Chains A and B, each alone.
Chain A
Amino acid sequence: MINGMSELSRHSKPARRQVLRLCALALLLASGAAAADGVGGMLSGLGQKLGLFEKEQSAFLMPDEAFVFSAEARDADTVVVRWRIADGYYLYRSRLAFNLQDDARLSLGEPVMPAGKVKEDEYFGRTEVYYGDLAVTLPIDRSGDGAARRVRIETSYQGCAEAGLCYSPISKSVELELPAV
């Protein structure tokens, strides 16, 4: 222990110099970045005054960021499809669609969708939409085949940003392992 301490003190002078150098480097980098920020800010401010880089509105998310999609097999005869909908975005209830692909022995029951929020639009009237987290339960009729198997579920959905942008309908196809009944 003492040995260790002395080792440290023997090298304390160069070590301190090393620390000082690192501090100087950090300071220089930080001031460089701050200066760049200042100049950049001035430039974009000037640009905005001249109408060069005028921001017409805020940035929009890519569709898969606005509506984060996932699906899981909850049990032998239930699949749950989920969306995490970003703040300021919504999905239309009437445009959710589900399909069980290429499977003659299984069939999809009626999807269980929660009640949405009624959105009043001066032109489109009343539409039901979802905000935040959404989970839809898909019952699967296993009477034709109860063995463990893979299924492919196709889901389509469509949504918009409150700020004035609608995404084209999106389709997702997922393969899930259904356990035996």
Chain B
Amino acid sequence: MPMKRIFVPLVLVFAVFVAAAALIEQRRDASSEGASPAASGGPLGLIGSARPDFSLPDLAGGMRHAQEWDGRVLMVNFWASWCIPCRREIPGFVDLQEKYGDAGLQIVGIALDEQAPVERFLSGLGIEVNYPQLLSPDSAGIALARAYGDAMGALPYTVLIGRDGRIEFVQFGELSAAQAEHRIQPLL
């Protein structure tokens, strides 16, 4: 009867394995924050890691470097003029910059776009955007968004970085001002 002796422990081991696999799957699903499963491997792995560097021109032509905002809570928002949901986010971000700028929040927009459509787009907003807009057209912009975890090159894409320069939160797609505020407040 050695079959019988092996059978019970074997089934138990298998059941534990299935339970563990189901649990891991469940937890991974629960923390995916709007990322598709195929894309979530990238950004979720980035949480807690140091933010990638960038040096990009602003709309006035001056070079801006990520280091100039070291020590502040940095929210990097990737967008483009052809992106409707990106347009919907910006007024709420202007309010957040106004409300929390003195407390240490710095929002930076990175447009994966050319200067002319970006300027047209921003002037069409009818409000003054009170945070820097940097330009990163062509493949360099997509590569930078990818380095920040946007594996699909989809927009808008927003990354929140703590005062220590570590990535705290990423969001695929539209981020409401209320959602952003909820994430920003504990970091200030």
Q: Determine whether the beta carbon of B19 is less than 8 Å from that of A35.
A: yes
Q: Determine whether the beta carbon of A166 is less than 8 Å from that of B155.
A: yes
Q: Size band of the B side of the interface?
A: 35 or more
Write out the residue numbers on chain A whose beta carbons fall within 8 Å of the beta carbon of B152: 60, 62-63, 167-168
Write out the residue numbers on chain B whose beta carbons fall within 8 Å of the beta carbon of A37: 22, 26
Tell me the smallest distance from the CB of B9 to a CB of chain A, in Å.
12
Tell me the smallest distance from the CB of B186 to a CB of chain A, in Å.
9
B interface: dominant SS: helix
Q: Which of B4-51 contact A (CB under 8 A)?
A: 7, 11-12, 14-16, 18-23, 25-27, 29-39
Q: Size band of the A side of the interface?
A: 35 or more
Q: Determine whether the beta carbon of B32 is less than 8 Å from that of A124.
A: no
B71 at the interface (CB under 8 A from A): no
Quick one: closest B residue to A94, CB to CB?
Answer: B82
Quick one: closest A residue to B173, CB to CB?
Answer: A165
A interface: dominant SS: mixed
Write out the residue numbers on chain B whose beta carbons fall within 8 Å of the beta carbon of A41: 26
B61 at the interface (CB under 8 A from A): no
The distance in angstroms between the C-alpha atoms of A169 and B92, with both chains bound, is: 26
Q: Determine whether the beta carbon of B173 is less than 8 Å from that of A32.
A: no
Nearest 9 A/B pairs, CB to CB: A40-B26, A164-B174, A32-B15, A36-B22, A165-B173, A44-B30, A36-B19, A53-B30, A168-B153
Given contacts A52-B31, A164-B174, A166-B82, 17 further A-B contacts (CB under 8 A): A21-B7, A24-B11, A29-B11, A40-B22, A40-B30, A47-B31, A51-B182, A53-B30, A59-B32, A62-B152, A123-B84, A123-B124, A124-B84, A160-B83, A160-B85, A166-B156, A167-B152
A-B contact pairs, 14 of them (CB 8 A): A28-B12, A29-B18, A43-B26, A47-B30, A56-B34, A56-B171, A60-B154, A63-B152, A123-B87, A123-B124, A165-B85, A168-B80, A168-B112, A168-B142
